Amino acid sequence: MTAGASVARSALVPADPREVEAADAVVSGLGLPADGIAVADPATGETVAHIPDDGVDEALAAVAAADAAGRDWATTTPRKRADVLRAWWESLVAHTEELAHLITREMGKPLAEARAEVKYGTDFVRFYAEEAVRPGGSFRDAPDGGSSILVRRAPVGLAVLITPWNFPLAMATRKIAPAIAAGCAAVVKPATATPLTTIYAVQLAVEAGVPQDLVRIVTTSSASAFSEAVLVDPRVRKVSFTGSTGVGKRLLELAAQNVLRSSMELGGNAPLLVFDDADLERAVDGTFAAKMRNGGQSCIAANRIFVQDGVADDFVAALAERFEKVKVGNGFGDGTGLGPLIDDRAVAQMRALTDDAVAKGATLRTGGGDHDGDGHFFPPTVLDHLPASADAATTEIFGPIAAVQRFSDEAEGLARANDTEFGLAGYVFTESLDRALNVADRLQTGLVGINQGVPSNAAAPFGGIKQSGMGREGSAEGLEEYQSVRFYNVARR
């Protein structure tokens, strides 16, 4: 048994069978095959559906079909693209309940969080419906007056979009919507653990007027065979990947062969700094959100929580109290605040990180321990006095463990926060504007949450520096990822 008390299975919130039925009604309408890759409910282990196990031939057929559809789409007007995206957004919003039920069924997060993901995921479609009519470009005179330079933005071409399992809708829409807005076709490979939401969202896209083959989904149990065949196909011009840094590096190697435009949203190891002058309630709320959103399975999850000595005892006590109140169980259960993790491996990882931390001297404030029975559950866990030598101080935790370290002054806090090869998100809690901006400037991350734990927004340029990636998603910058800049130089007399 791991550190902490065993949590009996009876403590888990059970599913409301009516919600499960509602989810299965959506699954049965997807037109999926009777066999193939099994998609399991992580709360029960039950097989929910099968999806096709596409091989290289099917993947290349999808490339051919999307490439053909993309040639026509590249010539459509910005207004046409905007109208189609708007219709898709309206349909997605109208089907919020269906989408949220699919997300909970295949990924496990509580239904309320799944609804929040639908809001977040559909925001990208609305944003790019609005942005599609602003493709950019400029006109300028050459300094010597001898010519005029007309700068245009053209669709980059066929894009391969590879998504992870943690946000099955949002990770797909924040790639597909800007691709469509820019005039590109896409081949989408969702994670095999959570393909159903993406399949449904793309079905709704076609019903809303997105041309039949413009967005093609490939599901496969052999992700490496897929990328080795597809990323070197000359019809493909772009790869956008969200997932782990190790896989991202491999995809960049493949992308190098044909010099593909590449966007990489990779792993994180976010530092969160709470200063003595923070509003403690705000800091606890923000840390709770930054850690526990999506059960901690988020690339921007607060991973290393640094608290200044003067407030550390009070902060940890308040955070542990919040964690203790979270009800763990089936995402379709009444009041569930934390669902299952995605698989057994993730639970084993949480156990190992907790055991290692406690063995090296951390204090277990709440959580730890085992859940008996089916499903991949791990309790909300708070560790205090995490030593720098603990694995949790350097690994991307990707689960519901808040690991607190203490620091004495700003310089020390910042140095430890930046002591990582990752650079996706950072957080700072302080009531001093001066300190907030100074610390934000010095954090080596692509985004910073200041006095708040959920900084993502469809209108913001999300992405990392260092080994957390390259390129941005969301906002006007996210559209540019799917555009090539070209210029015409016009001679003047």
Our finding on whether 223 is near ligand NAD (CB under 6 A) is yes
Helix or strand run (H / E) with residue 186: strand 186-189
DSSP state of 485: E
Stretch that binds ligand NAD, among 44-52, 112-120, 218-226, 435-443 (CB under 6 A): 218-226
SS3 at position 266: coil
Our finding on whether 121 is near ligand NAD (CB under 6 A) is no
Our finding on whether 6 is near ligand NAD (CB under 6 A) is no
- Reference 161, options 152, 149, 170; nearest CA is 170
Shortest distance in whole angstroms from residue 359 CB to ligand NAD: 25
Q: Kindly give, in sequence order, each residue whose CB lies less than 8 Å from that of residue 473, ignoring residues fewer than 6 positions away.
A: 174, 175, 178, 240, 263, 265, 461, 462, 463, 481
Beta strands in 69-146 (DSSP E): 138-141
Q: Site for ligand NAD (CB under 6 A): which residue of 88, 226, 315, 407?
A: 226
Our finding on whether 164 is near ligand NAD (CB under 6 A) is yes
Q: Site for ligand NAD (CB under 6 A): which residue of 73, 165, 288, 332?
A: 165
Structure tokens at 363: 């204090």
How many CA atoms are closer than 13 Å to the CA of 295, on its beta-carbon side?
35
Query: Phi, psi at residue 187, to the nearest 5°?
Result: -110, 120
Our finding on whether 224 is near ligand NAD (CB under 6 A) is yes
Antiparallel, parallel or unpaired: β 469-470 and 261-265 = antiparallel
Shortest distance in whole angstroms from residue 432 CB to ligand NAD: 29
Query: Phi, psi at residue 490, to the nearest 5°?
Result: -100, 120
C-alpha to C-alpha distance for 426 and 204, rounded to whole angstroms: 35
Our finding on whether 166 is near ligand NAD (CB under 6 A) is yes
C-alpha to C-alpha distance for 94 and 90, rounded to whole angstroms: 6
CA 432 to chain centre: 31
Based on CB atoms, which residue is closest to ligand NAD, 219 or 287?
219
Based on CB atoms, which residue is closest to ligand NAD, 2 or 220?
220
Scanning residues 235 to 294, which ones bind ligand NAD (CB under 6 A)? 242-244, 247, 250-251, 265-268
Based on CB atoms, which residue is closest to ligand NAD, 336 or 445?
445
- Tokens 């763990």 — which residue? 328
Structure tokens at 456: 């993502």
Structure tokens at 155: 């669709």
Shortest distance in whole angstroms from residue 166 CB to ligand NAD: 5
Our finding on whether 170 is near ligand NAD (CB under 6 A) is no
Structure tokens at 221: 């149990």
Q: What does the per-residue mask of binding to ligand NAD show for 396-415, with x meaning CB under 6 A?
A: x-------------------
The residue with its CB nearest to ligand NAD is 243
Residues noted as catalytic? 265
Our finding on whether 163 is near ligand NAD (CB under 6 A) is yes
Stretch that binds ligand NAD, among 160-168, 232-240, 284-292, 405-413 (CB under 6 A): 160-168
Our finding on whether 191 is near ligand NAD (CB under 6 A) is yes
Q: Site for ligand NAD (CB under 6 A): which residue of 227, 330, 381, 483?
A: 227
List of residues contacting ligand NAD (CB under 6 A): 162-166, 189, 191, 223-224, 226-227, 242-244, 247, 250-251, 265-268, 299, 396, 424, 464, 469
